[in-house]
A and B are shown apart, each in its own frame.
Chain A
Amino acid sequence: MILDIDERDGWVVVATRGEVDLQHAPRLRKALTDSLLGGRGVIVDLSPVTFIDSSGIAALIEAYQMARTGGNAFILAAPSAPARRVLKLARLDTVFAIADSVTAATEGP
Chain B
Amino acid sequence: MTISLLDRRFAARPEHLGDIRRAVSEAARRAGCDDEETGDVVLAVDEACQNVIRHGYGDAEGDVIVQMEIADTSLIVRITDFAPPVDADILHPRPLYEMRPGGLGLHFIRSVMDDIAFLTPPEGAGNLLQMIKHVGARA
- A contact residues vs B (CB 8 Å cutoff): 19, 21-23, 51, 53-55, 57-58, 82, 85-86, 89-91
- B contact residues vs A (CB 8 Å cutoff): 14-15, 17-18, 21, 36, 39, 42-43, 46-47, 50, 53-54, 96, 104-105, 107-108, 111-112
Pick from B14, B96, B112: contact of A21, CB below 8 A: B14
Please state if B17 and A22 are interface contacts (CB–CB under 8 Å): yes
Pick from A54, A55, A85, A90: contact of B39, CB below 8 A: A85
Write out the residue numbers on chain B whose beta carbons fall within 8 Å of the beta carbon of A82. 39
Please state if B105 and A53 are interface contacts (CB–CB under 8 Å): yes
How far apart are A24's CB and chain B's nearest CB, in angstroms?
A: 8
With A and B bound together, what is the CA distance between A91 and B14 in angstroms? 26
Query: What are 10 A-B contacts defined by CB distance under 8 Å?
Result: A21-B46, A22-B53, A51-B21, A51-B43, A53-B47, A53-B105, A57-B104, A58-B104, A85-B39, A91-B96
Write out the residue numbers on chain A whose beta carbons fall within 8 Å of the beta carbon of B36. 85
How far apart are A61's CB and chain B's nearest CB, in angstroms?
A: 9
